[in-house]
Amino acid sequence: MSDQPDQSEKTEDASSKKLEEAHKKGDVAKSQEVSAWFGMIGIGIIVALFVGPMAAQLAAPLSTFIVEPHAYDMDGGNILRIIQQLGIAVVAALGLPMLVLVVMAIAGNLVQHKPVFSAENMKPKFSKISPLAGLKRIFGPQGMMNFFKGLAKLVIVSLIAFWVVWPERDMLGMLMRVDLAVVPGVLQEKVLKLIGGVIAIMTVIAGIDFAFQKAQWAKKQKMTQKEVKDEFKQMEGDPAVKAKLRQIRHERGRKRMMAQVPEASVIVTNPTHYSVALKYEEGMAAPICVAKGVDRMAFKIREIAKENDIPLVENVPLARALHATVEVDDEVPPEHYKAVAQVIGYVMRLKGKMRRGSART
């Protein structure tokens, strides 16, 4: 009895039905590290391509005011106009960078799972506002793992920042005494170097975390043997599932039947619409139908017979009668014994002549 598997243990892989239901509820395998990796890629693109133009767009409406502040009458109307111009410049400057971040956020989800549109996670749940549940999330195994993971990332990023900044400390100090026009380019280069190092480390972290989250999610979706049996019983009543099962059984039966054609002794044909493969060996009570078919199936049976040198005998009424009355793996009924015996006798005589002919040669 101790060797019997526990029916309550989740030992079975999740069925496609359960996986589909989980997806509908928004329960998918997801790594925050992969999303963060895509976000960092987006930041790198923004720093590389948009920081310069963005700074120029933001500086343009303020440049005149900064250089010649005395030229402005600082009444309410002028201040409001400057604020409006600055607001328009901010929106225009941040438009493309924000679009990059949105695209990267979407990509970070799509690479992990197919699109999810579920209101399940938006429903109010007591566990989301319960202080006790919140403490369990923070100090539970998952929360502690996230804490140490975040701490490790902070240490790694700090080390990368030190690696980038420390060798350049003297040069960065000199930026206070050089032309301001060169400062943005130098800072951009150093920031990109820092981002590149962070991305390299995050690539490893994201890959490991994604594999871990995927494995944890698959483990959570596992089913007990009882759940598998109950689901199958439930699905058996579904007409669509019944039709699918019938189709699968029919396809398997067809493949098994076609695999038996090379064992046939003779193929009785229509000659085009019907084919019935019969097998007879000495000692058998009656010939057995090993395969039968109409139209395309009949053609396939004849093709396999030709490939295996199985005789084809044209007998229209017998082919039709056998196809209508004999099932695959069944014996030929007595009413067809005489006609089938004539066919089998003809085939045996034909094979005897061929053997004698080959013996003479």
134 shares a domain with 58 = yes
Structural domain contains residue 90: yes
337 shares a domain with 217 = no
Average pLDDT, integer, range 183-201: 82
Average pLDDT, integer, range 166-173: 72
Average pLDDT, integer, range 259-285: 89
Strand locations in the chain (E): 10-12, 223-224, 266-269, 274-279, 288-294, 312-314
DSSP states of 199-245? HHHHHHHHHHHHHHHHHHHHHHH-EEHHHHHHHHHHHHT-HHHHHHH
Q: Which of 18-22, 139-143, 326-330 has the lowest mean pLDDT?
A: 139-143
216 shares a domain with 274 = no
Structural domain contains residue 236: no
Taking Cα atoms as reference points, which of 234, 219, 230 lies closest to residue 9?
219
119 shares a domain with 257 = no
pLDDT at 75: 62
Taking Cα atoms as reference points, which of 281, 278, 294, 273 lies closest to residue 329?
278
Cβ atoms of residues 321 and 268 within 8 Å: no
197 shares a domain with 82 = yes
Residue 286's CATH number: 3.40.1690.10
252 shares a domain with 217 = no
**What's the start-to-end Cα distance of the chain, in Å?**
69
Taking Cα atoms as reference points, which of 52, 53, 67, 60 lies closest to residue 86?
60
- In whole angstroms, give the CA distance from residue 62 to residue 242: 72
315 shares a domain with 166 = no
CA distances to 142, 267, 309 from 306, in Å: 66, 10, 5
Structural domain contains residue 3: no
pLDDT tier at 59 (50, 70, 90 boundaries)?
Answer: low
Higher model confidence: residue 111 or residue 180? Answer: 111
Q: Which of 34-48, 74-88, 92-106, 267-281 has the lowest mean pLDDT?
A: 74-88
Chain segment 218-258, per-residue pLDDT in tens: 888 888 888 777 777 776 666 776 777 778 888 888 888 99
Residue 150 has pLDDT above 90, yes or no: no
Q: Which two tokens stand for residue 348?
A: 């045996």
Q: Which two tokens stand for residue 359?
A: 């013996």
Structural domain count of the chain: 2
179 shares a domain with 57 = yes
- In whole angstroms, give the CA distance from residue 27 to residue 216: 12
Crossing angle for the helix pair 225-236 and 239-260, to the nearest 10 degrees: 100
Domain stops at, among 203, 227, 251: 227
310 shares a domain with 273 = yes
* Gyration radius from the chain CA atoms: 39
pLDDT at 10: 75
Long-range contacts of 227-233 (CB under 8 A, 24+ apart): 227/12, 228/12, 228/15, 231/15, 231/17, 231/18
171 shares a domain with 249 = no
Count of C-beta atoms within a 10 Å radius of residue 226: 11
User: Most confidently modeled of 62-76, 166-180, 217-231?
Assistant: 217-231
Chain segment 315-359, per-residue pLDDT in tens: 999 999 999 999 998 999 999 989 999 888 888 887 777 666 665
User: Which domain range does residue 161 map to?
Assistant: 11-227
Structural domain contains residue 235: no
pLDDT tier at 16 (50, 70, 90 boundaries)?
Answer: confident
191 shares a domain with 161 = yes
184 shares a domain with 150 = yes
Cβ atoms of residues 349 and 304 within 8 Å: no
Structural domain contains residue 232: no
